[in-house]
Amino acid sequence: MTTTPAGWYPDPYGSPQLRWWDGSQWTDATHPLEGRNAPEPAGPATLATTPATPAAPAAATAQFAAPPAPPQWTPPSQAWGATSQLPMPQFGAPPKPPSPLPWVLGGVGIVLVIALVVAGAFVFLNQGSSEPAIARPPATEPAPPPQTEQAPPQEQVPPPDQQQPQQQPPQPSITSFPQPEDGRIHDSVSGLSYKFLGRPWKVSDPKTMNAPNDPTYPLFTSGYGAVSQPGYNGREGADWMGTVAAAQLPQMLPYRGVEDLEVVTTTLLSAYEPAFYSIPHEREIIRNEAIKVGDRDAWIIEYKMDFSAESKANDYKFKTESGAFVLVDMGEGERPSFFYVSIPDNLKSEQVGDVLDSLQTH
């Protein structure tokens, strides 16, 4: 059996140059096509890949066998099928990890709806009530079972994956809302200032606005309202209301910074809408965008709720309601502020724009 002698040959890997064949395998030594009589490389490192067959050089004759050909590489798209593709590699700085908020807040939204709708929050903003609904203990308590003397049980600590999460601290008590000064409400807790619309609007009672034992519900620190329709559903004290109010974002909702403004605002609307607007309705989004409140970054979702079908069937005095959710970043280390305005058409819905235009930080 004859072999091809050592020498320079056209590169079988397709580059426009010569590659050194050492008589038994291809090496990593290369040379320009010009000057085929280049000196023999000294101890070149060999290529790990089995070489391809070179074109027959002028110096080679029929008594020499061509170097063996390497196996052909098959692209993944052909080997695994056209739909089986590997992801392209990423270059540059590693991408910022995606926010967990769509999943975390989505779960919180479910909890919110359950807490507010099923368990019954103290009061819904559109449904005013003279007294908040408070859970009362039974009139009498059953007598405790007889005690028997026994050794005290040893304290058992559940494993980490079964330990209960730490409870959120109770929300502070808000006893009164700030009164208007020079036609504006100045809320020192949320850091927001906004227009007071005047009569028939009145500063609200915190007891009818807040649920201090529910950490999923906003703890409003300022606000005012007006009655759109008293006893709208035939129940005395169940009034449909227009509302303007401010609060800090509830502590249990995660917030990392400005990059979370959009997803948190969207989640708040999805979570609170069933509670704030309990009548069947259709929703139209007017705008959903980043804005500035004073010199602070903020996000606004402005919308219109249409109750026309229910209004006609139940003889409501209102047919539509315009409103907005605004989330304002208050700086590093500070909780963002949540602003809510919602005005039924029989209370002049166009005033929503006036209130939003007046919103400032202080």
Q: What are phi and psi of 17, to 5 degrees?
A: -160, 180
**What are the Cα distances from residue 131, in Å, to 209, 210, 234, 238?**
10, 12, 17, 10
Reply yes or no on whether the pLDDT at 123 is more than 50: no
pLDDT of residue 141: 43
Most confident listed range (93-107, 112-126, 213-227) = 213-227
For 151-176, write each residue's pLDDT tens digit. 445 545 445 444 444 454 555 678 89
pLDDT of residue 35: 53
Reply yes or no on whether the pLDDT at 68 is more than 90: no
The fraction of the chain above a pLDDT of 90, given in percent, is 45
- Residue in the structure block whose two tokens are 């009139």: 139
Where do the domains of the chain lie, and which CATH numbers do they carry? 1-76 (no CATH), 101-127+173-361 (3.40.1000.10)
Distance separating alpha carbons of residues 279 and 326, to the nearest angstrom? 22
What is the chain's mean pLDDT, rounded?
74
| Of 199 and 167, more confident | 199
For 16-49, write each residue's pLDDT tens digit. 888 888 888 888 888 787 655 666 666 544 444 4
**What are the Cα distances from residue 319, in Å, to 8, 228, 308, 316?**
89, 11, 5, 7
For 323-339, write each residue's pLDDT tens digit. 999 999 999 999 999 99
pLDDT of residue 329: 98
Amino acid letter, residue 290? A
pLDDT of residue 199: 95
pLDDT of residue 29: 85
DSSP string, 41-97: PSSPPBPSSPPPPPPPPTT--TTSPPPPPPPPP--HHHHS-TT--PPPPP-SSPPPP
pLDDT of residue 26: 85
For 215-253, write each residue's pLDDT tens digit. 888 999 999 999 999 999 887 778 999 999 999 999 888
Distance of CA 219 to the CA centre of its chain: 22
For 294-307, write each residue's pLDDT tens digit. 999 999 999 999 99
pLDDT of residue 113: 43
For CA atoms 25, 30, 34, 40, the dihedral sign is negative
pLDDT of residue 348: 96
Reply yes or no on whether the pLDDT at 342 is more than 50: yes
Are residues 47 and 25 in contact, defined by beta-carbon separation less than 8 angstroms?
yes
pLDDT of residue 82: 33
Amino acid letter, residue 10? P
Mean pLDDT in residue range 105-109 = 43
Are residues 318 and 304 in contact, defined by beta-carbon separation less than 8 angstroms?
no
Spell out a b/e string for 313-339, using b for 16 or more CB atoms within 10 Å of the CB, else e.
eeebebbbbbbbbbbbbbeeeebbbbb
